[in-house]
Chain A
Amino acid sequence: MWKEIGDRERGILRPKSFTTRIKSNRIRTLQISNHKDIVSPHRASINSLQVDLTEGRYLLSGAADASAAVYDVQRATDYEGGGLIAKHKCLFVVDKQHEHGHKYAISSAIWYPVDTGLFITGSHDHHINVWDTNTTQVVMNFKMPGKVYRTAMSSLATTHMLIAAGTEDVQVRLCDIASGAFSHTLSGHRDGVMTVEWSTSSEWVLVTGGCDGAIRFWDIRRAGCFLVLDQSHSQLGRRPTIPEHSATNKALTSKSLSSGQNLNAKPRAQQRKLANGNGTKQSPVGRMPAKGSLRQRLHPGMLSSLDRATAHYGAVTGLKATEDGMYLLSAGSDSRLRLWDVESGCNTLVNFETVRLQAGKPIQLATSQDSALVFVPCMTAVKAFDVWSGNTSQTFRGHYEYVNSCWFSSQEQELYTGGNDKQILVWSPPRLIADEGDEGPAQDRDNWSD
């Protein structure tokens, strides 16, 4: 450690690699925190956790008893154990007793990405509430057609403030805080939508995972989705290999892009020889003659709804995009975790050794900074996998029941996990007791006299 500081001083070690090295060393030693504890006021399972994106200071949790609470993770409310253990009680709780509070479980609680003045909660009572943090009042309310499973807001957005909501209805709705109305309805999924995530590279791209097993990418400026991930399209490695000749290339790309459009042209192409790479179908709408076809004239954007490719054999329960926006991790109820290359839309075939994953509920995955590790709640433990090789790097066992969500704070290198046992556990690198400074607390208790 001292040698590294010396190297940094002399300029042998670059500052960024110095910080990355220290951070990864700390992450490798993550264990249940011996100096920090979060006291959760919830009386039911915790469904969602998020630390705010602006300061990294406030943790927002949403639970199944319709309560949402905020904790300050940097300043403790009081100390125990002779000043060694910091207890973080909640700063405030909003629950069923609140006049505009939710009636049923809160499935998702997120901060407004720009500042901590607002937070948004989505609940099984079909409502999405936008709360003002300082006054703890509901400022806006959206009614959804079904139970809300997930809400998300883009952290990159500068021109819109849309809340994407995934519900048990097949359509994904985007709610606008500025106008108080629904701005978009995205159709294409065949079953409820369990997870929604905004892309980390573009403020216009939304990724949704449905109970039908499909993962769709939507550009909200256009109609329909532009990419449906198919688990049988795979590439061997992080990036696809450069093809030897262009015909193969055309076949591969046209296959993934026009697989939705091909289905329409198929009945017409029955009598023709099938040539996969013979140029993409440019205007699929024009190719549909009125020759007794029972198919309606579909808008080009809606052709993707015919694409039935699935990313998982069961429902998609969790999605997480890497920070550079190039890869997407998805967890499914078939107990598989897959890593997708967003650019090519292919499965990179990295095998994560998950024996079982929770199937009925959406789970929240977390990635460490620079996305080298992914933290996945696997039943009662949280496992950290190396993203590129799929090896289990650490297992965190501490919860008594299933873990639903985890959030990694890269500022502090701490992992917060919440589960069905109503606890929020903090996992942090161990702090040596001597760091506290004074040797005072360790008194000699035998030295007493009347």
Chain B
Amino acid sequence: MDKTSEEASSKGKKRQRDQQPTDPQTNQPHHQIFSLEDNLSFTDTLVALRMMRAQFPRIDKVSIQPFILRSQLYSSVKDRTQVDRELESLRREKVVRIFKLNTGQDDHAIMFLDDYLNQMENVVKRLEEKEGDQVFKWFRTHVIDSKLEPSIEHQELYTLLSLGGMVKDGHISLLINAGLLLIDPNMYWFAIPNIGSVLKGLSQGRKEVLSFLNRRRYKEMMLASMEKKCLRFSPLDMRFHLRDLIGSGHLKTVQTSTGLLVRVSKD
């Protein structure tokens, strides 16, 4: 994979903006303030996470907090081992949480802990369960706080929830119905609630981008012109998908005299 990403030339200017967690107002698909070409690589995982969180596309139909895919991080920071290790330390410090997604092999979504808790709050409010209210509180205070891995065993979940009070099987079903847990034989995976449609858009968008490039004669296109294209099947923008596909190895970038070129990698 001969990926030659360039450092952001105006990095100094960009640094100030990543302290703002809020989305810039004029971030619309056609008038990108932050073009992907300038923003393709970062020096540090936390900087990359914050920048990508700020650039998360706004989806109208679903209210979802920003999340970042692991493959996007790999495309942004040069040294993958450094990314893994920094993510691990951020996870241990409870700054971010990592979730395993079921879209394809080894997909992980990274979300800042505050965003995740906000997302949980929004979902719980909408559920309006009277009896089950406590479960969500117990879940938040006991389970999320102490179990940092993306999965949890049945026994351990039971024990941790019991620290809050008497747990019945119905409570765990409530958690599953809310979308906070996904059941797997013998264990549960933590999940981001309300994310189903976005994940569908993610896989469809990936296929769309790859098929678009595969249909072209030489299976390549300039990054600048790719960014301007609109995706029909995905609510997430082109930049999100490009970062993800470059990081997972399906696309590679080649430096040319007129800018970066995106090409389908044959491997």
Q: Is A335 an interface residue (CB 8 A)?
A: yes
**Is there an interface contact between B106 and A335, defined as CB atoms closer than 8 Å?**
yes
Residues in B with CB closer than 8 Å to A379 are 267
**For residue A355, which residue of chain B has the nearest CB?**
B249
A308, A356, A392: the one within 8 Å of B153 (CB): A308
* Bound-state Cα–Cα, A392 to B248, Å: 15
Residue B14, interface by CB 8 Å: no
Chain B hits for A314, CB < 8 A: 105
Fill in one digit per residue for B144-165: 1 if any A CB lies within 8 Å of its CB, else 0: 0000011101011011101100
Cβ-defined partner of B155 (8 Å) among A266, A271, A313, A351: A266
| Cα distance A368–B159 in the bound complex, in angstroms | 47
Q: How far is the CB of B94 from the nearest CB of chain A, in Å?
A: 15
- Flag if A313 contacts B89 (CB, 8 Å): no
Which of under 10, 10 to 19, 20 to 34, or 35 or more describes the interface residues of B? 20 to 34
Contact, CB under 8 Å: A266 / B88: no
Q: Could you tell me if A334 and B80 are in contact, using CB atoms closer than 8 angstroms? A: no
Residues 263-286 of A at the B interface (beta carbon under 8 Å) = 263, 266-267, 269-271, 273-274
Q: Is the CB of B81 within 8 A of A390?
A: yes
User: Which residues on the B side are within 8 Å of A77 (C-beta)?
Assistant: none
Which B residues touch A137, using CB under 8 A?
Answer: none
**CB proximity of A348 to chain B, nearest CB, Å:** 9
Give Cα distance in the complex from A269 to B156, angstroms: 11
Q: Tell me which of A237, A308, A335 contacts B105 (CB under 8 A).
A: A335
A392 CA to B155 CA, complexed, in Å: 41
> What is the CA–CA distance of A258 and B267 in the complex, to the nearest angstrom?
42
List of B residues within 8 angstroms of A267 by Cβ? 155
Nearest A-chain residue to B149, judged by Cβ: A232
A281 to B106: give the CA distance in the assembly, Å. 34
Task: Evaluate contact between A308 and B163: CB separation under 8 angstroms.
Answer: no
Determine whether B48 belongs to the interface, using a CB cutoff of 8 Å to chain A.
Answer: no
> Is B114 in the interface zone, CB < 8 Å from A?
no
- Structural contact, A236 and B160, CB atoms closer than 8 A: no
Task: Tell me if B186 and A334 are in contact (CB < 8 A).
Answer: no
Q: Report A185-239 residues with CB < 8 Å from chain B CB.
A: 232, 234, 236-237
CA–CA, A378 and B267, complex, Å: 9
Which of B88, B150, B160 has most chain A Cβ within 10 Å?
B88
A165 to B176, CA, bound (A): 42
Say how far B189's CB is from chain A's closest CB, in angstroms.
Answer: 11
CA gap between A335 and B88 in the complex, in Å: 20
* In the complex, per-residue mask of B226-254: 1 if CB is within 8 Å of any chain A CB, else 0: 00000000000000000000001110000
Q: Are A334 and B84 in contact (CB under 8 A)?
A: no
Q: How far is the CB of A127 from chain B (nearest CB, A)?
A: 34
Inter-chain contact A274/B159, CB cutoff 8 Å: yes
**A162, CB-defined interface residue at 8 Å:** no
Contact A234 B88 (CB under 8 A): yes
A350 at the interface (CB under 8 A from B): yes
Cα A392 to Cα B83 in complex, Å, equals 16
Report if A389 contacts B (CB, 8 A). Answer: yes
* Complex Cα spacing A236 to B81, Å: 10
Complex Cα–Cα for A82 and B163 (A): 81
Q: Mark A286-313, 1 if CB is under 8 A from B, else 0.
A: 0000000000000000000000100001
**Does A349 lie within 8 Å of B84, measured CB to CB?**
yes
CA distance A353 to B248 in the complex (A): 9
Give Cα A180 to B12, complex, Å. Answer: 72
Within 8 A of A (CB), among B13-67: none
A392 to B89, CA, bound (A): 25
**Residues of A in contact with B, size category:** 20 to 34
A319-372: which have CB < 8 Å to B? 334-336, 349-351, 353, 355-356
Q: Are B249 and A389 in contact (CB under 8 A)?
A: no
A236 adjacent to B85 (CB under 8 Å): yes
**Cβ-defined partner of A236 (8 Å) among B89, B156, B250:** B89
A236-B89, A270-B158 given as contacts; is B163 within 8 A of A353 (CB)?
A: no
Q: Report the minimum CB–CB distance from B80 to chain A (whole Å).
A: 4
Say yes or no: A336 contacts B106, CB within 8 Å.
Answer: yes
CA distance A349 to B162 in the complex (A): 33
Q: Are A351 and B163 in contact (CB under 8 A)?
A: no
Whether B106 and A313, one on each chain, are in contact in the complex, defined by CB atoms closer than 8 angstroms, is yes
B187 at the A/B interface (Cβ < 8 Å)? yes
B residues 70-120 near A (Cβ < 8 Å) are 74, 79-81, 83-85, 88-89, 105-106
Contact between chains at B162 and A270 (CB < 8 Å)? yes
Q: Which residues of B contact A263 (CB under 8 A)?
A: 153, 155
Residues of B within 8 A of A389 (CB): 79, 81
A356–B105 Cα gap in the complex (Å)?
A: 10
Q: B1 on the interface (CB 8 Å rule)?
A: yes
Q: Is the CB of A266 within 8 A of B248?
A: no
Interface centre among A271, A274, A335 (most CB of B within 10 A): A274
Smallest beta-carbon distance B187→chain A, Å: 7
Q: In the complex, what distance in Å separates the CA atom of A314 from the CA atom of B160? A: 28
Residue of B nearest to A392 (CB): B1
The distance in angstroms between the C-alpha atoms of A336 and B84, with both chains bound, is 13
Are B267 and A266 in touch, CB under 8 angstroms? no
B252 to chain A, nearest CB (A): 10
Nearest residue in A to B148 (C-beta to C-beta)? A232
A247 to chain B, nearest CB (A): 15
Which residues from chain A sit less than 8 Å from chain B, CB to CB? Answer: 232, 234, 236-237, 263, 266-267, 269-271, 273-274, 308, 313-314, 334-336, 349-351, 353, 355-356, 378-379, 381, 389-390, 392
Task: List 8 additional contacts besides A270-B159, A271-B162, A389-B81; criterion CB under 8 Å.
Answer: A232-B151, A236-B89, A270-B158, A274-B159, A308-B187, A313-B105, A334-B105, A355-B265
17 contacts between A and B (CB under 8 A): A266-B156, A269-B159, A270-B159, A274-B159, A274-B163, A308-B153, A349-B84, A351-B74, A353-B1, A353-B249, A355-B248, A355-B250, A355-B265, A389-B79, A389-B81, A390-B80, A390-B81
Which residues in B have some Cβ–Cβ distance to A below 8 Å? 1, 74, 79-81, 83-85, 88-89, 105-106, 149-151, 153, 155-156, 158-160, 162-163, 186-187, 248-250, 265, 267
Identify the 4 closest CB pairs spanning chains A and B, nearest first: A351-B80, A355-B249, A349-B84, A232-B149
